[in-house]
Chains A and B, each alone.
Chain A
Amino acid sequence: MAESPGAEKREESPILWVARPMATAARQFARSLWRPSTIVYPYERLEDPKFREKLEVKSGKPFGVGDIWDNYRGVHALNIETCISCNLCAFSCPDICIEMVTVAGGDPKHPKKCPEIDYGKCSFCGFCSDACPEGCLTMTTRYEITTPKRQEMVFSPERMYEIFRSKLPMNPIRLARPENEDQILLDPPLCIGCNACARDCPTQCITMLDIPKPEAKPGEKLPRRIWKEPVVNDSDCVRCGTCISVCPKECLFWGTRK
């Protein structure tokens, strides 16, 4: 019936009514007598390298071949020490399951905020760890997070820091940054020099530079502002956009520096 080449050859014709399927099932029965293909999960784990070797050698089947587990996107690990509170993980989360909560270690004026993840909502898409500019939020191979209590599904930064220190295999796949990345640009006429961007910049790559106060022409009123302008150090900038969001005059925007 199939017109493709070789289809006639492969087509199985019934022999003796049911003899062929019964022989096939019997062959499978004999094959799985010693060791079926299933994995007795809580006792045998695919992420256990020793078990993988054993399986590969004994069964001759391509099960669990290679280090497939290291790329798995599981529970996050957070390195609180290197976190710069840039909010990018929370911004990039499609499920809005990341909340930035205050952790110890910040100065009272600028409290340090780290992500707290609600695994009841998380879809493990990995966008947050892709977005993390410092590489402090990564995903591990841990996948067992079932719990009888809903509150325990929320992982605090400290809890994820413990996972980080437990040296689970981290997801080595990291997205390379594109070359023509956005930069923070300024609409100079709109700026009032208020320092909000420089104050809230997590990497402190914005410096307020003095600009000359122009001479007021006759009949023209000078804007009421501080005569300073933000200058962004592009090599330090992590593109979190905090400055854009805090700017009261909406004078910062994404763009390419000419």
Chain B
Amino acid sequence: MSEMWINMGPQHPMTHGLWNLRVKIDGEVIVDVDPELGYLHRGIEKISEDRHYNEVVTLMDRTCYVAGLAWEHLYIIASEKALHIEPPERAEYLRVMCEEFQRLGSHIMWFSAFVVDIGLLTPLLYGMRDRDLVLDLFQSYTGARMTYEYMRVGGVRNDLPPGFTDRARTVLDWLMARFDEYDKLTLGSDIFHKRCDNLGILKANDCIAHGVTGPMLRSAGVKRDLRKDRPYAAYDRVEFDVAGADSADVTGRYLVRMEEMRQSVRILRQVLDWLDRNPGPVMARELPRWLGAPYAPVGREGYLLKRNYPKGVGFSSIEEPHGEAQAYIVNEGGEHPYRVKLKSPVFSNISAARQYLVGYRVADIPPIMGSVDVCIGESDR
């Protein structure tokens, strides 16, 4: 068989989203790859320019369908900087709780998808079952399972319902026991190590050259975690360790994500204790007058722009489950952001595909791309 191009995507079981990986193969060996993105572009950045600061939150949920609250958090931090608002402390802790639960949900979802890529169908169901508990928790205080619309500029929508923290602790205990089960099903089997060891290697300097962040970078031996390096929200007030590995391969990324989930549980236990001890307001008192949450009517720009509101620019960068996400928001006065720019970690991680795919076999594509944790919603926006 001579060399040929095959299109893995846009509809292909490997893609986990809507994108196209063009692969040039020689027999079973990959000679060249060419990732194509943009099939899921919805113009979220442009739509945001026509929405309220608070209404943009509904769009942020839809950037990444498995990590909606993390993106809400990213956007809210940037817009609070642009609008010169300081959220109350309890809201910051609540946001940390949201983000860590979201990290749990996202990583469990990744686990489910990844094991299917290497041919294990059983843990897929285990992962979905356990992620459902996290979604139940989200539903109990945000009111939705996937599109939460929970955070607001200046705080969060509402406080926790009574009995939430105990319920959350039950779920955390259950999840901790399940993580060991996951490890037994994957790391405990020789076939897993045969499939995943020394696969898809992306060394630290290659990661840095391509802007690859998140678990992929940490598995290459670089312990960079924005929660530690540049703490935002309440991350400087909780204790945790940065997960890391040295092998820079698929197994290393697996280990990093599993360890991150355990660290998330550790953070969550501290945050839940803090929330139990410190009741308080969840919304800032000094909001801009027209930003009293969703009251300000849409379509009244003319009346609002006449009055002088403070201008500003907000930049935020958080450790999203997939890597470092960034948002840049320009506030030119008025009720809509003038410009919202989002930078997705997945975009960079996929862009380096040629570095970590060429030379391996066709059968290695699903595990390698699975270990990248692709979420096309956020890379295409």
Contacts and interface: CB of A to CB of B under 8 A. Distances in A.
Please tell me whether chains A and B touch each other in their complex, using a CB distance cut-off of 8 A. yes
Interface of A: 1-5, 7, 10-15, 17-18, 20-21, 23-25, 28, 37-38, 61-69, 71-73, 87-88, 91-94, 123-127, 130-131, 139, 171, 173-182, 239-241, 244-245, 250, 252-256
Interface string B125-148: 010010011001101111110010
Given A139-B143, A182-B292, A62 B174 contact: yes
Contacts of B285: 178-180
A65 B304 contact: no
Interface residues of B, number: 75
A63 to B, nearest CB: 7
Interface of B: 51-52, 54-55, 58, 122, 126, 129, 132-133, 136-137, 139-144, 147, 149, 157-158, 161, 163-164, 167, 170-171, 174, 180-181, 183-191, 193, 223, 241-247, 251-252, 255-256, 259, 263, 283, 285-287, 289-290, 292-300, 302-304, 306-307
B300 A241 contact: yes
Contacts of A15: 188
A109 B247 CA distance: 76
Nearest to B263: A4
B183 A12 contact: yes
Contacts of B223: 3
Given A10-B183, A131-B295, A62 B188 contact: no
Contact of B290 (A131, A175, A182): A182
Contact of B187 (A5, A11, A139): A11
B89 to A, nearest CB: 17
Contact of A3 (B245, B290, B297, B302): B245
A49 B259 CA distance: 36
B306 A253 contact: yes
A4 B244 contact: yes
Given A62-B167, A178-B292, A256-B289, A3 B139 contact: no
Contacts of A255: 289, 307
Contacts of A68: 136-137, 139-140, 167
A127 B149 contact: yes
Given A2-B244, A4-B241, A177-B292, A124 B185 contact: no
B73 to A, nearest CB: 17
Contacts of B289: 180-182, 254-256
Contacts of B185: 21, 24-25
Nearest to A14: B190
Contacts of B161: 67, 71, 173
Given A124-B144, A125-B58, A178-B292, A11 B255 contact: yes
Contact of A73 (B143, B174, B244): B143
B180 A127 contact: no
Nearest to B191: A18
B145 to A, nearest CB: 9
A70 B246 CA distance: 47
14 contacts: A1-B245, A1-B247, A13-B188, A66-B140, A68-B167, A71-B143, A87-B297, A94-B298, A173-B157, A173-B158, A182-B289, A182-B290, A250-B303, A255-B307
A55 to B, nearest CB: 12
A65 to B, nearest CB: 5
A39 to B, nearest CB: 10
A256 B307 CA distance: 12
Given A180-B285, A250-B303, A3 B246 contact: yes
Contact of B295 (A65, A123, A139, A182): A182
A254 B241 contact: no
Contacts of A182: 289-290, 292, 295-296
Given A64-B136, A71-B143, A91 B244 contact: no
Nearest to B169: A62
A1 B256 CA distance: 9
A64 to B, nearest CB: 7
A240 B295 CA distance: 8
Given A20-B189, A66-B140, A126-B143, 9 more contacts: A3-B246, A7-B255, A17-B191, A65-B167, A68-B167, A71-B142, A71-B143, A180-B287, A253-B303
A241 B149 contact: no
A171 B143 contact: yes
